[in-house]
């Protein structure tokens, strides 16, 4: 006990003298690691709210939760910024069967976000396996009435799994459009992951108003391999897809905002943020519960240490990143009209794993300035400052000249869980999560003091 009292005494007494960036960084690190409050917040979000798809009751609960937590974290002001968000509902049915030589094999699938549903009995057609859009185009007439099965896997040799995702995700995003162009009636897409398991991952897909809308579902990697093997063995494999997904009219909702108002330059903003919505599978613990609690924890840590930022540090919990980016767009429109200057925005939307650095999109002068903080960030192993980065939500601030910064956590495990039932809190490590919040606190603090 004596040791604890001594430690606390040292902590508080050092606040008086803590002036240099590295002293503040040390205090933020120690307080964060002692309390591990980001994890406590995440546990609370998951247990009291759960999934938070735009337009769902869960998302509305999350708005109230976010507001309350920003208040509890000590934000000087907290408000809700209105935004109309889409409402897509998966419904109870998502089922697929392959039929080969009279035998029926069930495939583990899930509806892709935004897909239309099928008629009650589903859509049935012979299935054609492809790996890219050139192969789809080359099918021409042969694709008519068929189900197109996109089966290009992640490139495992990519060190950063985000790059592997980037190299495969056009199948999910635009696969239905390209397949419909040649007359296909449905789409199955191999799940976007390096993992080999029976869990399909959802995620956004698009339609084009001038092209027929056809249903689209993700198939687990195990069943993608199984289907591919069936097709290799037998020419005529047919698939039936049944989906009950439906899109409803947009609904009104909110992005949640809380800030520590700058003591000298309140109209200059350093933004930290993540997105409050999640997919409807799993609980969005990593995506993007982590970004949400990172942002709230930045406010808590800075307030707890009684630090007074020169410029405003604002936490933004964006609405609807997953299927529409309405929160990001609306926030940028709001930012344009406030007369405030958004100097920099730091987004956390790549999971709650150990952060190794930040990706920065800006001119070379400002990039170099941010890179000069690398030695400061080294105390929490977050010193890799790379060119390029940001986030979907803050991306809409680009036209305002805002420096866009993305937190870069370790990527190896992220796509094992991403957009699936596996994205649950047991995959998040309390200390790894906290490091992200500490790194964002340090960077937002120095930017609030030095400007950029």
The binder of its own copies chosen from 33, 72, 226, 400 (CB under 8 A): 33
Select from 82-90, 117-125, 365-373, 428-436 the region that touches its own copies (CB under 8 A). 428-436
At its nearest, how many Å lie between its own copies and the CB of residue 173?
21
Query: Of 421 and 449, which CB lies nearer to its own copies in the complex structure?
Result: 421
Q: Is 428 in the site for its own copies (CB under 8 A)?
A: no
The binder of its own copies chosen from 131, 213, 265, 336 (CB under 8 A): 131
End-to-end CA distance of the chain: 43
Select from 241-249, 263-271, 284-292, 373-381 the region that touches its own copies (CB under 8 A). 373-381
Residue whose C-alpha is closest to residue 217's, from 168, 176, 278: 176
Residues 6+ apart with CB under 8 A from 93: 117, 242, 243, 244
At its nearest, how many Å lie between its own copies and the CB of residue 134?
12
Residue whose C-alpha is closest to residue 49's, from 260, 317, 393: 317
Select from 51-59, 65-73, 96-104, 376-384 the region that touches its own copies (CB under 8 A). 376-384
At its nearest, how many Å lie between its own copies and the CB of residue 133?
15
At its nearest, how many Å lie between its own copies and the CB of residue 226?
17
- Three state DSSP letters for 290-341: HHHHHHHHHHHHHHHCCCCCCEEEEEEEECCCCCCCHHHHHHHHHHHHCCCE
Annotated active-site residue in 178, 321, 322, 432:
321
Q: Is 235 in the site for its own copies (CB under 8 A)?
A: no
Q: Using CA atoms, how far apart are residues 319 and 366, in angstroms rounded to an integer?
A: 29
CA distances from 438 to 351, 370, 377 (A): 15, 16, 9
Q: Are 353 and 423 in contact (CB under 8 A)?
A: no
Secondary structure (3-state) at 92: coil
Query: Of 34 and 208, which CB lies nearer to its own copies in the complex structure?
Result: 34
Q: Can you list the pairs that 127-130 forms with residues at least 24 positions away whose Cβ atoms lie under 8 Å?
A: 127/98, 127/188, 127/227, 127/231, 127/237, 127/238, 127/239, 128/184, 129/227, 129/228, 129/231
Query: Of 195 and 452, which CB lies nearer to its own copies in the complex structure?
Result: 195
- Give yes or no: 378 in active site: no
Q: Using CA atoms, how far apart are residues 416 and 427, in angstroms rounded to an integer?
A: 10
Sign of CA dihedral 40, 42, 43, 45: positive
Q: Is 3 in the site for its own copies (CB under 8 A)?
A: yes
At its nearest, how many Å lie between its own copies and the CB of residue 442?
13
Q: Are 201 and 418 in contact (CB under 8 A)?
A: yes
Q: Using CA atoms, how far apart are residues 341 and 367, in angstroms rounded to an integer?
A: 18
The binder of its own copies chosen from 84, 379, 449, 450 (CB under 8 A): 379
Q: Starting from the edge strand earliest in sequence, which strands make up the sheet with 238-243, in order?
A: 103-107, 94-100, 238-243, 123-130, 147-150, 186-190, 216-219, 109-111
Other beta carbons less than 10 A from residue 68's beta carbon: 14
**Contact letters (x/-) for its own copies, 189-208, by CB under 8 A?**
-----x--------------
Q: Where in 56-115 is the site for its own copies (CB under 8 A)?
A: none
**Contact letters (x/-) for its own copies, 350-369, by CB under 8 A?**
----x-x-------------
Query: Of 125 and 359, which CB lies nearer to its own copies in the complex structure?
Result: 359
The bridge status of strand 103-107 relative to strand 216-219 is unpaired
Q: Is 9 in the site for its own copies (CB under 8 A)?
A: no
Q: Where in 151-180 is the site for its own copies (CB under 8 A)?
A: 156-157, 159, 161
At its nearest, how many Å lie between its own copies and the CB of residue 30?
4
Query: Of 33 and 93, which CB lies nearer to its own copies in the complex structure?
Result: 33
Q: Is 29 in the site for its own copies (CB under 8 A)?
A: yes
At its nearest, how many Å lie between its own copies and the CB of residue 52?
27
Residues 6+ apart with CB under 8 A from 133: 170, 174, 178
Select from 25-33, 40-48, 53-61, 174-182 the region that touches its own copies (CB under 8 A). 25-33
Degrees to nearest 5, angle at CA 115 with 112 and 116:
145
The binder of its own copies chosen from 231, 344, 432, 452 (CB under 8 A): 432
122: left (phi over 0), alpha (psi -120 to 50) or beta: left
At its nearest, how many Å lie between its own copies and the CB of residue 435?
8
Query: Which are the catalytic amino acids?
Result: 321
Binding site for its own copies (CB under 8 A): 3, 29-30, 33-34, 36, 131, 156-157, 159, 161, 194, 354, 356, 379-381, 410, 412-413, 429, 431-432, 435
């Amino acid at each position: 006990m004596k040791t604890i009292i001594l430690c606390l005494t040292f902590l508080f007494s050092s606040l008086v003298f803590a002036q240099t960036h590295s002293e503040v960084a040390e205090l933020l690190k120690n307080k964060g690691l002692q309390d591990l409050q980001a994890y406590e917040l995440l546990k609370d979000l998951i247990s009291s709210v759960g999934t938070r798809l735009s337009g769902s009751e869960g998302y509305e609960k999350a708005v109230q939760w976010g507001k309350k937590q920003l208040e509890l974290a000590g934000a000087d002001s907290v408000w809700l910024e209105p935004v109309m968000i889409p409402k897509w509902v998966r419904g109870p049915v998502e089922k697929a069967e392959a039929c080969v030589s009279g035998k029926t094999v069930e495939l583990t699938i899930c509806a892709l976000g935004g897909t239309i549903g099928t008629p009650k009995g589903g859509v049935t057609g012979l299935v054609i396996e492809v790996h890219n859009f050139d192969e789809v185009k080359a099918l021409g007439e042969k694709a008519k009435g068929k189900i197109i099965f996109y089966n290009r896997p992640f490139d495992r040799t990519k060190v950063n799994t985000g790059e592997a995702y980037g190299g495969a995700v056009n199948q999910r995003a635009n696969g239905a459009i390209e397949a419909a162009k040649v007359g296909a009636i449905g789409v199955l897409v191999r799940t976007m992951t390096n993992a080999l398991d029976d869990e399909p991952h959802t995620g956004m897909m698009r339609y084009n108003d001038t092209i027929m809308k056809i249903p689209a579902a993700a198939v687990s990697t195990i069943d993608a391999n199984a289907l591919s093997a069936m097709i290799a063995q037998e020419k005529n494999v047919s698939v039936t897809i049944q989906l009950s997904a439906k899109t409803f009219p947009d609904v009104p909702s909110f992005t949640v905002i809380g800030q520590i108002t700058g003591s000298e330059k309140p109209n200059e903003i350093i933004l930290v943020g993540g997105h409050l919505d999640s997919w409807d599978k799993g609980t969005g613990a990593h995506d993007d519960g982590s970004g949400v609690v990172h942002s709230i924890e930045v406010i808590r840590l800075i307030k707890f240490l009684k630090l007074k930022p020169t410029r405003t540090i604002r936490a933004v919990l964006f609405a609807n990143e997953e299927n529409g980016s309405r929160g990001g767009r609306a926030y940028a429109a709001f930012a344009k009209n406030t007369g405030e200057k958004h100097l920099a925005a730091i987004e956390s939307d790549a999971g709650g794993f150990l952060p190794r650095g930040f990706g920065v999109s800006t001119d070379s002068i400002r990039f170099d300035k941010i890179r000069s903080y690398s030695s400061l960030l080294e105390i929490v192993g977050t010193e890799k400052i790379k060119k390029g980065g940001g986030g979907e939500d803050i991306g809409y601030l680009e036209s305002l000249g805002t420096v866009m910064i993305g937190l870069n956590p370790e990527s190896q495990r992220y796509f094992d869980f991403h957009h699936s039932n596996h994205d649950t809190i047991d995959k998040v490590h309390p200390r790894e999560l906290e490091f992200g919040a500490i790194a964002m606190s340090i960077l937002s603090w120095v930017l609030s003091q030095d400007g950029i």
